[in-house]
Amino acid sequence: MAQPKYTTHPGMVDILPDDVRKWQYLENLIRTEAEKFNFEEIRTPIMEQTELIVRGLGQLTDIVSKEIFAFSRGEDNYVLRPELTAPVVRAYVENHLDQRGGSQKLYYIGPMFRAERPQKGRQRQFHQFGVEVLGSSDAVADVEVIAFMIHIYNKIGINNTTLKLNSIGDPESREKYKEALKAHLKPNYEKLSEISKKRYEKNPLRILDSKEEEDKPFIENAPVITDYLNEESIKHYSKVKEYLTDLEIPFEEDPYLVRGMDYYTQTAFELISPDLGAQDALAGGGRYDLLVQEIGGQPTPAVGFAAGMERLFIACEELGIQLGSEKVVDVYIVTLGDAARKWGLSQLPKLREKGVSATMDYMGRSMKAQMKDANRENAHYAIIVGENELTEGKFTFRNMKESEESSLSFEEILEKF
């Protein structure tokens, strides 16, 4: 097929009406369930200052170093948001949300942008929902965040997921661990993959994430961070595990789970699905106790997660889960002739006033074509109006599904709803 003159950018897709219904279903579900947890929605701009993202996520992260869409205009630097934790924290600080008292429980839904090579479960514009709890260092917050995340998937019927859990401790613990890890790898430095060699100095923790065959033997018997946690961190981590167990939320400890952003501290987690293929992370998150301060606010502990909506839909497809319902319309007015069209046009508002969805033919087509259209639109009822009906004031009211019709005045038809 010939390529159209104008297309979306790679990795950016149109969401067409048939698909939008499932998006709306998911969005409604998220909002409804978030309200049950007493989370409040926050909406921030699509673009942020580049510096916020660079400082917030970390200069050396993959996202910042190669995946951000950034441009400048005059003096200002703009970046399309690649995630929402840093922007939400920015909004928290900028708008003094701490002054509302207590911990802030926020949720969001919206598009994110990363300049990656598109593939299954990975787009350049994609959508996330997530929550951020700011102001609490208590493990209760970690666990509520995780519980909400799992809750959404369970509501939808995606149950075959694995919650991976780890603690990467506070900076002090992590420094100690980094040194131990480097000491462990040093004798075999030359045997490491090229990527891992690069990470060795900059961010040795990421070597643990490596999928290169040659790295595996050294990763397998590497020291684990949980052995280097200080007392504070150990205490927090065990509380998280204790509460998860209380809630009967199963988890799998993965001492090598390292998340992509620099801002994480303590708890780190990912929700993995076997239905996704290469990109198997449905959602991920953790604690980020230093980010608020890093961005210029008062020291404020926080925890949150982000979930990929497209990936959720992929999992649904694999599992045969249908989200949202068929498109329908209550009434289709079939008109014959100009007078009937004029009449139909003026009755539509009366139906809609009653909360009845209603439409009519816009193309001046034959009755047969209009009936066909009504069928295609899944109209529950057709009101058929021609010259006879207009003079008598009685209209043919047809139940499309039952194929039954009666002759009624328009007032009588309105009574039916």
Which residues, other chains included, contact 297 with Cβ-Cβ below 8 Å and sequence gap of 6+? 89, 92, 93, 98
Closer to RNA by Cβ: residue 16 or 187: 16
Q: How far apart are the first and last CA of the chain?
A: 47
Closer to RNA by Cβ: residue 79 or 282: 282
Token code pair at residue 330:
């209550």
Which residues, other chains included, contact 257 with Cβ-Cβ below 8 Å and sequence gap of 6+? 164, 165, 166, 268, 269, 270
Binding of RNA by 277 (CB under 7 A):
yes
Binding of RNA by 307 (CB under 7 A):
yes
Token code pair at residue 344:
């139909």
Closest to 373 measured CA to CA, from 333, 324, 417, 325: 333
CB of 199 to RNA, least distance (A): 8
Among 81, 389, 410, 413, binds RNA (CB under 7 A): 389
Binding of RNA by 79 (CB under 7 A):
no
Binding of RNA by 48 (CB under 7 A):
no
Q: Are 209 and 258 in contact (CB under 8 A)?
A: yes
Closer to RNA by Cβ: residue 134 or 257: 257
CB of 8 to RNA, least distance (A): 7
Q: Are 147 and 248 in contact (CB under 8 A)?
A: no
Binding of RNA by 304 (CB under 7 A):
no
Angstrom distance (rounded) from CA 59 to CA 201: 14
CB of 75 to RNA, least distance (A): 28
Q: Which stretch binds RNA (CB under 7 A): 26-34, 153-161, 305-313, 352-360?
A: 305-313
Closest to 131 measured CA to CA, from 305, 311, 281: 305
Site for RNA in 178-237 (CB under 7 A): 195, 206, 209-212
Binding of RNA by 120 (CB under 7 A):
yes
Binding of RNA by 318 (CB under 7 A):
no
Angstrom distance (rounded) from CA 331 to CA 398: 10
Q: List the beta bridge partners of residue 408.
A: 395
Binding of RNA by 243 (CB under 7 A):
no
Token code pair at residue 131:
């929550």
Q: How far is CA 130 from CA 96, 215, 241, 272, 398, in A?
A: 21, 33, 21, 16, 46
CB of 205 to RNA, least distance (A): 9
Binding of RNA by 261 (CB under 7 A):
yes
User: How many residues at the interface with RNA, by CB under 7 A?
Assistant: 69
Token code pair at residue 259:
């998340």
Q: Which stretch binds RNA (CB under 7 A): 24-32, 136-144, 271-279, 320-328?
A: 271-279
Among 110, 121, 304, 344, binds RNA (CB under 7 A): 121
CB of 382 to RNA, least distance (A): 7
Binding of RNA by 5 (CB under 7 A):
no
Binding of RNA by 105 (CB under 7 A):
no
Alpha-carbon dihedral of residues 149, 151, 155, 157, nearest 10 degrees? 70
Burial class for 293, CB neighbours closer than 10 Å (0-12, 13-18, 19+): middle
Closer to RNA by Cβ: residue 234 or 396: 396
Site for RNA in 327-346 (CB under 7 A): 336
Token code pair at residue 221:
């018997």
Among 59, 401, 412, 417, binds RNA (CB under 7 A): 401
Burial class for 99, CB neighbours closer than 10 Å (0-12, 13-18, 19+): exposed
Q: Are 304 and 269 in contact (CB under 8 A)?
A: no
Closer to RNA by Cβ: residue 193 or 234: 193
Among 142, 144, 254, 270, binds RNA (CB under 7 A): 270
Binding of RNA by 308 (CB under 7 A):
yes
SS3 (DSSP) at 75: coil
The interface mask with RNA, positions 345-384, x = CB under 7 A, is --------------------xxxxx-xxxxxx-----x-x
Residue 170, number of CB atoms within 10 A of its CB:
18
Binding of RNA by 279 (CB under 7 A):
yes
Phi, psi of 120 (to 5 degrees): -55, 125
Residues lying near RNA in the complex (CB under 7 A) are found at 1-3, 7, 10-11, 62-63, 83, 114, 116-123, 126, 128, 195, 206, 209-212, 258-261, 270, 277-284, 306-308, 310-311, 336, 365-369, 371-376, 382, 384-389, 396, 398, 400-401, 403, 405
